[in-house]
Amino acid sequence: MREIKFRAWDDVKDRLLYLGEEDDIVFEFGGSGIVATDITEDEPNFKTLYHLIYLQYTGLKDKSEAG
């Protein structure tokens, strides 16, 4: 059985975030789904990123994504 992977589209910064590969964002699975928290050191309080759009990652790359 294949591992199910997810990624998130950040429509504020126009970039894809890969769960498990980001250093400044923590992803957690909760009762209401996936929750992302920005843990950047210069932030006084960690903030939840409600604007992310979560996608199931198939492993295929778009031609515009860096390989």
Residue pLDDT, tens place only, 6-64: 888 999 889 888 877 778 888 888 788 888 888 876 766 788 888 999 888 777 777 77
pLDDT at 49: 86
Exposure string (b/e) for 10-45, b if CB count within 10 Å is 16 or more? eeeeeeebebeeeeebebeeeeeeeebeeeeeeeee
pTM, full prediction: 0.64
Please report, for residues 19, 44, 54, 55, the alpha-carbon distance to residue 5 in angstroms, rounded to integers and kept in the order given.
8, 30, 11, 9
